[in-house]
Each structure stands twice: as C-alpha cells, then as structure tokens.
Structure 1
Amino acid sequence: MPLSAIYFDLDGTLVDSEHLHAVSWNKVLAMFDLHFSEAEFCQQFAGKPTLEAAKVLVEEHQLSLSASALAKKKHTVFAEISKLHLPALLPGAKALLAWCREQGVKVALVTGSAKEEAHSILTGHDLAKYFDVIFTRDDVEQPKPHPEPYLRAIAHFSLTASSGLAVEDTVTGSSSAKSAELYTVVVPNKYSLSADFSHADDRCSSLFDVQALIASKL
C-alpha cells in the first residue's frame, strides 16, 4: 500500500537536542548534588519522556521532590536554555520535511517531549508549519514506548497503520511505533548505535537515506 502519512519523532531524530536535555537535567539535579555525563544521561534516559525519567530519578536517588515537580522544573529549564542555545537540526531535517509536504502525504510529529519543550524547538526552527498535527507528552495518557502516541496520530488522520511510516532514533520510540503497527525506520543517534533494533523494519544512517527510502514507497 502506498504511503499516506509519515510520523516523525523530534529529539534525536530531527534535532540534535540530547545534549541540551542532559544540560537541563544537570541544572535541575544540581540542588541534589547529582550529575550525569551526557553519555550516562543518553544511555539511561534518551527517548524517555521527562516525567518518566523524573520518576526513575526520584525513586533511585530518594529525592525530596515529587516526580511531577521535578519534571516541571526540567521543562522550564529546557525551554529557557533552548531559547538561548537552540539545538541544531540534524542534517537534512528541514529539507526532508519540506519534501514530504511536496509529496502530498500527511506529516505528523509524535514526540515524547512536553509541549513546552517541543514548542521552543519548533518555534526556534520554524518547523510547526511542516506538520499537519503535533502530539506531545501532554497529549497522551501513556507515553512511548506505549503505542498510544502513534495510535492517536493515526486515528487523527483516519488512516490505517499500514499506510504509514514512522522515523525514530531510540528503542523507546521505535518500540512505540512498531507496537502501533507502523512501518518503523530507525536512524540511531551516536548513543543508540549499539542498541537492539531488531524489531524495526528498516535502519538508515541519515535523514537523506530516509528520504530515499520514503521515495521508494510512495
């Protein structure tokens, strides 16, 4: 079946923002004398929504703050920092989004980031105009790796999963897309290169390769 919709993740897939997420977490966790290297952060939390990461941190380190309060602080810090130090788009990201629009397919953003975090990046790079719909962590009850985020996006378009393709960079995200029965393409980031993506349908080394793959399926 020809593709009718493309579903994109944001962090690590379209924008190189994992470093900024690590910096934001470290600023928040400094009050508890906790610090993670970027590699440690990405290996443990890349792809996980902020609230879910906060729950792990509160439990593992017995923090004197609720997970929701910790997550809210991180959302605020990330939004503030990203306005001053906007993370770069990954090579080919904007061109790929524009090209998808030109093909006449539906384009959705399905991100585990909170609305506040995603908004700062979408605004900074003027990306919102490329998407027909945007689903953030705030729009779902059960975040990735649960399939709900993608199922909601599919339902929004009144399409079947078999007519869609998802692009992800982590096991958390690709598991969500695959569980929603989407054709799932992974473009691993430098921290997920060695992850087990055996559940995915295809693997690309760049967004340029993703464009070629999509073109072959239109």
Structure 2
Amino acid sequence: MSKDISTVLFDLDGTILDTNQLVVASFQHTLKKHLNLDVDEKELKRYFGEPLTKTFQRYYSGNINELLHTFRQFDVANHDALTSFFPHAKEVIQLLSDKGIKLGIVTSKHNYMTSRCSHLDEISNFIHTIITFDDVTNPKPNPEPIEKALYALAESPEHALMVGDSVEDIISAKNAGVRSVFVSWSELKKEELVDQPDFVLDDFLDLLKIINSEKGTVRKARLS
C-alpha cells in the first residue's frame, strides 16, 4: 500500500547540479599534478557518486591529503563557471516546498566544498537539512546519511523519497528503507544498477507526477 510522501531527499552532484565537467576537470588536474597521470573522462565517470577518498585511493595508496587539497582548490575556483542546475530543478524544488514537502540534500561532497557551492544559495530557502560526507561516520551506500537526514526532519522512512544518480544513492535508500528515484540523466544507465530504483525521472518535472500534489500519495511512475 502506498504511503503519503512528505519528504524528498536529493543527492547534489549529478542530480540537482550538472557538475560532470567540473568533477572530471578537478580529478584530471589533480591526478596530473601529483601523480602525472592522464585519466580518461569515461573512466573517471564510472566512479561518480563515491567519496573522493575512495576514488583517489584507486590511483594512489599513500597519503591523499595533498590530492584532496588540490582537488578542493580547483573545484572552488572553477565551480560557478563549470556547473549549472539541471532543467526544472529549481522550479520543482520550490513547488514541492510550496506544497509543504520537507526537502533535504544528502551528498558525498565534503562540507568544505558543499558550503562553497554558491548555487545552493538559490534554493537555500527551500532546503531544510543538508547532510555531507563530514556529517556521518559511514557515507553512502550505508544508510546513515539518509537516516541522519530523516532524523533532522523528524520523518520516517516510509514517507520519504531519495532522488539520486548513482549506485550509492540507490543502495543507501534501500538500506534505509526509503523508496529510491533514479535520474535518467545520470552517467549510469538504469540497467547497470544491481539494485533497481522504485522510480525513474526523465525530467525533474516527473517528480510532480510521482507525488500527488493533492493527496500526497505515490502515483505510478515510468520504470522502463
């Protein structure tokens, strides 16, 4: 039986914000500077959604603090020029907030970079909680980030949706007992996911089709 949806949680990079160009450029700049590695964009995109530390540890077994510092510096310096909202993202976030839906962001970005994301200023009035990598002991795909967001919003899992673009988002939602929503503009294809999402968005406006604005109950969404 469907449960009323009163909360929607969003991943940030690749879900609300188109950061693909920025993330790839930040990785390539850092890996070239410190390790003299030229890593293909397609390879790097396979690791989108996982914590930075995990990605850098794929290429270097030593202390990665300098790599993280360089990545963050490049990310902050180039963020505004290389990122933008996905179509209809801001519009839908505001509409959901206007309907009384509680909204949160659950990201694997570090707090340092999240706090310097100027795009968030444009939607800050609608977002009630932000959980970053630094706010948890166990990041996605562990359920802890979602559970912490739900606790902050005084919400239970059966009344929430998690919207994301990565394997980690879908598994984290499943582990937390929250219904998952996968965005089709992800670098991943739905068929590549071992754990299948409950819903798929082809456009941010599809989220309004999932949530019945009058009754708050879940409608059937496209899952092909």
Q: TM-score, normalized by length of structure 2? A: 0.87
Any runs of at least 4 consecutive aligned residues in structure 1 with deviations exceeding 6 A, and if so which?
none
Paired with 2:169 and 2:126, the residues of 1 have a C-alpha distance of 21
Q: CA deviation at 1:56?
A: 2.2
CA contact (8 A) 2:10 2:104 kept: yes
% identity of equivalent residues: 25
Mapped to 2, the partners of 1:165 and 1:124 lie a distance apart of 20
Deviation readout 1:91-149 (Å, 9 max, x if unpaired): 11000110111011210011111122223334466222220011111111111111111
1:79 maps to which of 67, 76, 92? 76
What's the Cα RMSD here? 1.8
1:104 to 96, 100, 106: 100
Shift of 1:35: 2.0
2:206 maps to 209
Conservation of the 8 A alpha-carbon contact between 1:167 and 1:185: yes
| Structure 2 letter corresponding to 1:200 | P
Can you give the 5+ residue segments of structure 2 that lack an aligned partner in the other structure?
217-224
Give 1:188 shift: 3.0
Aligned twin of 2:128: 132
The corresponding residue for 1:39 is: 42
Task: Tell me by how many angstroms 1:47 deviates.
Answer: 0.4
Mapped partners of 1:118, 1:14: distance in 2: 13
Choose the corresponding residue for 2:86, options 63, 85, 90. Answer: 90
CA distance in 2, matches of 1:197, 1:204: 18
If each structure's helix is expressed as a fraction of its own residues, which one has the higher value? 1
**Contact persistence 2:14–2:186 (CA under 8 A):** no
Aligned partners of 2:22 and 2:199: how far apart in 1?
A: 28
Which residue number corresponds to residue 22 of structure 1? 24
Structure 1 length as normaliser, TM-score?
A: 0.89
Cα gap change, 1:89 to 1:176, in 2 (>3 Å): same
Bigger drift between 87-96 and 120-129 goes to: 120-129
1:139-158 equivalences under 5 Å are 139-158=135-154
CA–CA distance in 2 between the matches of 1:210 and 1:185?
Answer: 9
* Contact 1:6/1:108, CA 8 A, preserved across alignment: yes
Equivalent residues, number = 211
Is the CA contact (8 Å cut-off) linking 1:28 and 1:74 kept in structure 2? yes
Q: Which amino acid aligns with 2:85?
A: L
- Contact (CA 8 Å) 1:166, 1:183: kept in 2 or not? yes
1:66 maps to what in 2?
Answer: 63
CA distance in 2, matches of 1:113, 1:70: 15
Separation in structure 1 between the aligned mates of residue 170 and residue 118 of structure 2, nearest angstrom? 22
Counterpart Cα distance in 2 of 1:15 and 1:87: 7
- Residues 113 and 136 of structure 1 are in contact (CA less than 8 Å); yes or no, is this contact kept in structure 2? yes
Structure 1 alignment gaps of length 5 or more: 60-64
Deviation at 1:80, TM superposition (A): 1.3
Measure, in 2, the Cα distance between the counterparts of 1:102 and 1:189.
25
Instruction: Tell me the alpha carbon deviations over residues 42-92 of structure 1, each in whole angstroms, 9 at most, x when there is no partner.
Output: 11x110121221222213xxxxx5123322321222111114x14011011
